[in-house]
Amino acid sequence: MSEDRNLDEAKRLLAGYRSSIDNIDAALIHMLAERFRCTKAVGVLKATYGLPPADPAREAQQIERLRRLADDAHLDPDFAEKFLNFVIREVIRHHEHIAANGGASQPG
């Protein structure tokens, strides 16, 4: 009987955590969408002025900063670096695509 009650309580807690997880995932998607909206404009700017898609010096600064932020927030800095690199590789792919199209961004 008390095991049933414990299980009910566990299910209630799980549903609460999942509700927060869903909100956080939605926020992440919206933040990523804003970031990509911004980087697409950067891609057009770079293609227009013949600037290279990748800027390794800027990336090194971003990685150093994010690793510090992650550490302060008790998030694994290696994970933060991998995540940023994953996002930036996709941005560079977009930049290259925009440059190959003569500076025109694709919708979406």
Ligand X SMILES: O=C(O)C(=O)C[C@]1(C(=O)O)C=C[C@@H](O)C=C1
Q: Which residues bind ligand X (CB under 6 A)?
A: 39, 42, 54-55, 58-59, 62, 88, 91-92
Sign (positive/negative) of CA torsion 93, 22, 76, 32?
positive
State which residue has the least CB distance to ligand X. Answer: 91
Shortest reach from residue 94's CB to ligand X, in Å: 9
Residue nearer to ligand X on the CB measure, 27 or 38: 38
Yes or no: say if 45 and 39 are a contact pair by the CB < 8 Å rule: no
Residue nearer to ligand X on the CB measure, 13 or 79: 79
Question: CA 62 to CA 29: how far, in whole Å?
Answer: 20
Q: How many CB atoms lie within 10 A of CB 101?
A: 13
Shortest reach from residue 24's CB to ligand X, in Å: 22
Question: CA 77 to CA 74: how far, in whole Å?
Answer: 8
Residue nearer to ligand X on the CB measure, 2 or 102: 102
